[in-house]
Amino acid sequence: MTASTANAQRFREFKMPDVGEGLTEAEILKWYVQPGDTVTDGQVVCEVETAKAAVELPIPYTGVVHELRFGEGVTVDVGTAIIAVDTDPGAGPAEAPAAAPQEAAADEEAEPQGRQAVLVGYGAAPSSTKRRARKPQPGVPAQPEPAKAALQAELNGRTAPAAPATPVAPAVQPAPAAPAGSAVPAAGRPLAKPPVRKLAKDLGIDLATVLPTGPDGIITREDVHAAATPTAAPAEAPGPVAVAAAEPGTVDTAARERRVPVKGVRKATAQAMVASAFTAPHVTEFITVDVTRTMKLVQELKQDPDMAGLRVNPLLLVAKAFLVALKRHPEANAAWDEANQEIVYKDYVNLGIAAATPRGLIVPNIKDAGAKTLPQLASELGDLVATAREGKTSPAAMAGGTVTITNVGVFGVDTGTPILNPGESAILAFGAVKLQPWVHKGKVKARQVTTLALSFDHRLVDGELGSKLLADVAAVLERPKRLITWG
């Protein structure tokens, strides 16, 4: 065994895993360890945020933390080493293997054999195709740094900074061939890795206009960021400067604006809402209902020994009413399969609960909620909300939902027109419960009233079916004894 091999086995690197199917990167939110700390196999060392949720990462090694490769707040590609651990600290001093740059890590690593296991599922199978390195083209002069900056600025449609004057050579001498990393790519598809292409798309940068600096003409993250950064205007010669007068009535608001990158949960939510709003034809119906009896039942259940230690609130009974109504109208619990042109009817209900968290809106769901008793439903609902507020909801908890409830009433809002969670058939909005005048038994009395709104996918749910579903939810809340007679 060579010294380098023994050294590599002693210092083990933990790479950013794929914490959810198809994710390509994650942001390091917080490190729980520092260099010199002792760690054990399975110990959580950091928290990362993906496009779906915040996830804590356990390390699979025991030893002493040698190095943290990235700081907090940095977005790291999946497969990049983020921490190095000395698994044999008692063996004396040794030099840890150098960290490879994030952009070149995938190219410098040995080809893995077979599919590599990740935290959830398996990664993609490795490709057997290898790209040959580009050869320098004879006769192509190398571009000095000012010339590269000028070319990049021209490609991006901006003015390049003025280059310092250079003396004219008496004769033109042939220049040596430029290295592949500094040459402008030939016509065709620019060379870039998928995460870099995604970054360019998010920033609105055309990769064909980006000057590559990576090996073999590959475009790196730094190249994309450089293309997105405005180039400074050339310096003006000293002289009288004419100051343009501001137009009457105009106000400079730039100093009072903040720009925050769209990423993580906010980015995933935005993409999901746009995809849903412009894919599924939404229909929203409303109904106002007297829930006085339901509110009385809530108070009675709080005193019930079988509900001791459980959180009992109006949302619990709204959820149960929705499940009872879906049991009476199972055709509404379905999904649209565009690829196969099929409607998938589901004999189970994974009930999503929209939860507002510091990182944005997430929709975890209670698996097989229709088969649970009221105490079981209350227990899972309480755990789901608590986990979401702590930011600990796993990607698996948000997958596979069939219908959703959003409780806008907690904000004092009467109702709304909720947007469907992608892949689901319906979403019920529960508005604020307010004391209002209501005709009850022929007399106007003060009653506790709320408004429900049901949005549904009109490809799956016709107006008649949607109306019956919403009416049954209201009927259960008006007379909660129907939980027994209909359930």
What is the average pLDDT across 195-205?
80
| Spacing of C-alpha 73 from chain mean position | 15
**140 pLDDT exceeds 60?**
no
Minimum mean pLDDT among 26-35, 54-63, 170-179, 204-213: which range? Answer: 170-179
Strand partners, 427: 404, 455
Residue of 363, 421, 429, 428 whose CA lies nearest to 397: 363
Q: What is the pTM of this model?
A: 0.57
Task: Tell me what the mean pLDDT of segment 358-363 comes to.
Answer: 81
The mean pLDDT value of the chain amounts to 79
Using the predicted structure, report yes or no on whether residue 208 has a pLDDT greater than 90. Answer: no
Top pLDDT among 192 and 293 is at 293
* Whole-number Å distance between alpha carbons of 317 and 324: 10
Beta bridge partners of 434: 449
Provide the b/e sequence for 268-295 (b: ≥16 CB within 10 Å): bbeebeeebeeebebbbbebebbbbebb
The pLDDT value given to residue 106: 41
CA gap 348, 7 in Å, rounded: 53
Q: What pLDDT is stored for residue 6 in this prediction?
A: 64
Given a cut of 60, whether residue 153 has pLDDT beyond it is no
pLDDT value, residue 246: 54
Catalytic choice (66, 329, 440, 458):
458
Within 10 angstroms of residue 256's Cβ, the number of other Cβ atoms is 7
Instruction: Give the pLDDT of residue 113.
Output: 44
* pLDDT bucket at 94, cuts 50 / 70 / 90: low
* Tokens coding 255: 């100093």
DSSP 3-state assignment of 446?
A: strand
Secondary structure class of 45 (helix, strand, coil): strand
Closest CA to 319 of 348, 349, 290: 349
Q: Which residue has the higher pLDDT, 376 or 22?
A: 376
pLDDT in tens, 271-297: 777 877 778 889 999 999 999 999 999
Percentage of the chain with pLDDT > 90?
Answer: 46
Structure tokens at 367: 């698996």
Instruction: Assess whether 329 carries a catalytic annotation.
Output: no
pLDDT at 340: 93
CA nearest to 332, candidates 473, 179, 191, 138: 473
Q: What DSSP string runs through 267-320? A: HHHHHHHHHHHTTS-EEEEEEEEE-HHHHHHHHHHHT-GGGTTS---HHHHHHH
Distances (CA, A) of 36 to 30, 45, 66: 17, 13, 6
| Residue-level pLDDT at 93 | 66
Better-predicted residue by pLDDT, 35 or 125: 35
Structure tokens at 272: 């999901």
How many residues are listed for the chain in this entry? 487
**pLDDT tens digits for 49-72?**
876 677 889 999 999 999 999 999
Over residues 97-117, the mean pLDDT reads 45
